[in-house]
Amino acid sequence: MRRSLLARFLLARLGWAIPVILAILIVNFLIIHIVPGDPIQALIGDFPAPPGYADQIRHEFGLDQPVLTQLGLYLLNLAKGQLGFSFANRQPVLGLILQRAQFTLILMLPALALAASLGIVMALAAAPRAGSLYDSGLTALSLVGFSLPIFWLGQLLVIMFAIKLHLLPAQGMFSLRTRLTGWPYVLDVLWHLILPMFAVTIYYVAIVARVARASVLDALSQDFVLTAKAKGLSRRRVLWRHVLPNALIPVVTVIGYNFGYSLTGAILVETVFAWPGLGNLFITSIGNRDYPVLQGIFLLTAIAVVIANVATDLVYASLDPRVRSTGLRHA
């Protein structure tokens, strides 16, 4: 019974996700045509391509045919994983992006985990003292987090901790002077990870803390908390065993639904720290006018965001039985 409900829920969410992905593909198709001049430029980029390649692409994408045929061919090419070729990097766009995406995840996932735990702990500390100085401090902090240009925050961290204090490396993902392997290599990467990860974390903690505060406040006002207190449980036990599990559900959703937001944050931070992930690829591709790569990054990140949304819904549904029966988002 339980399983079939969850399966039906998954189907409903896929029914939402597939049209959205289709719309994203169409947006990408439209972008090719907004370039002033020939759409072929958007498909190849400005990097010198071998002679004959333009004609091959023109044929593959049916650029001399009616728009609807072009759209069909475009979707067909995408379905085959044909996102174009990056002449600046001498490899197919899809492979290039997937390879760089790993490095972005190395930066993003620890930052997300840290931001989530930090945000929850801060909210647990602040919410029971609503209106106190500490509580308003948390609200102010999240407002500041929303208003900080994340790339500037990155620059400030570099100036402070790398350049003035010489504590941490300013750029890159590993030391260039030595060739490390095994554990020393891992430690070296972690060492380089600290500053950019910290930048993404601050950016993200702003959202988590705000939502977590609201959901802790909500959980605190529930009857079961009163019961737990009446049983004579210690304050700490009430918070950690009764309030926390209930407050976690909205936090899980806010993290999942903001996957795109944190991805954007990571991309901007990468450009400051020369972290070799998607952000770095993005900014060098802007410089090279390597358009297929830019479009590929948009396409794959947008699809990743949709998948993250569906995954979040599933996690939500498995945590909260009320959602499954309605099959509704935000239920």
Tokens of 49: 């391509």
Taking the complex as a whole, how short is the minimal distance between the CB of residue 71 and another protein, in angstroms?
Answer: 16
Closest to another protein by CB, 36 or 232: 36
Task: By CB under 8 A, name the one of 4, 287, 322, 330 that touches another protein.
Answer: 287
Closest to another protein by CB, 173 or 244: 173
Question: CA 97, CA 102: separation in Å to the nearest integer?
Answer: 9
Taking the complex as a whole, how short is the minimal distance between the CB of residue 228 and another protein, in angstroms?
Answer: 30
**Of 50-58, 145-153, 192-200, 229-237, which segment contacts another protein by CB under 8 A?**
145-153
Task: By CB under 8 A, name the one of 207, 272, 317, 323 that touches another protein.
Answer: 272
**Of 111-119, 191-199, 206-214, 256-264, which segment contacts another protein by CB under 8 A?**
256-264
Task: By CB under 8 A, name the one of 239, 294, 317, 323 that touches another protein.
Answer: 294
Task: By CB under 8 A, name the one of 109, 286, 311, 331 that touches another protein.
Answer: 286
Task: By CB under 8 A, name the one of 263, 269, 317, 323 that touches another protein.
Answer: 263
3-class secondary structure per residue, the chain: CHHHHHHHHHHHHHHHHHHHHHHHHHHHHHHHHHCCCCHHHHHHCCCCCCCCHHHHHHHHCCCCCCHHHHHHHHHHHHHCCCCCEECCCCEEHHHHHHHHHHHHHHHHHHHHHHHHHHHHHHHHHHHHHCCCHHHHHHHHHHHHHHHCCHHHHHHHHHHHHHHHCCCCCCCCCCCCCCCCCHHHHHHHHHHHHHHHHHHHHHHHHHHHHHHHHHHHHHHHCCHHHHHHHHCCCCHHHHHHHHHHHHHHHHHHHHHHHCHHHHHHHHHHHHHHHCCCCHHHHHHHHHHHCCHHHHHHHHHHHHHHHHHHHHHHHHHHHHHCHHHHHHCCCCC
Question: CA 196, CA 57: separation in Å to the nearest integer?
Answer: 39
The answer to the question of residue 20 lying near another protein (CB under 8 A) is: yes
Taking the complex as a whole, how short is the minimal distance between the CB of residue 24 and another protein, in angstroms?
Answer: 6
Taking the complex as a whole, how short is the minimal distance between the CB of residue 297 and another protein, in angstroms?
Answer: 7
Taking the complex as a whole, how short is the minimal distance between the CB of residue 19 and another protein, in angstroms?
Answer: 7
**Of 33-41, 63-71, 115-123, 311-319, which segment contacts another protein by CB under 8 A?**
33-41
Question: CA 135, CA 125: separation in Å to the nearest integer?
Answer: 8
**Of 6-14, 71-79, 237-245, 282-290, which segment contacts another protein by CB under 8 A?**
282-290
Question: CA 138, CA 61: separation in Å to the nearest integer?
Answer: 53
**Of 85-93, 95-103, 114-122, 260-268, which segment contacts another protein by CB under 8 A?**
260-268
The answer to the question of residue 328 lying near another protein (CB under 8 A) is: no
**What Cα–Cα distance (Å) separates residue 263 from each residue in 70, 204, 236, 256?**
31, 10, 35, 11
Interface with another protein in residues 295-314 (CB under 8 A): 295, 297-298, 301-302, 305-306, 309
Taking the complex as a whole, how short is the minimal distance between the CB of residue 125 and another protein, in angstroms?
Answer: 23
Interface with another protein in residues 146-185 (CB under 8 A): 146-149, 151-152, 155-156, 158-159, 163, 170
Q: Are 150 and 201 in contact (CB under 8 A)?
A: no
Closest to another protein by CB, 229 or 289: 289
- Residue 146's CB: how many other CB atoms inside 10 A? 11
Residues that bind another protein (CB under 8 A): 19-20, 23-24, 27, 31, 34-36, 42, 143-144, 146-149, 151-152, 155-156, 158-159, 163, 170, 260-261, 263-264, 267-268, 271-272, 282-283, 286-287, 289, 291, 294-295, 297-298, 301-302, 305-306, 309
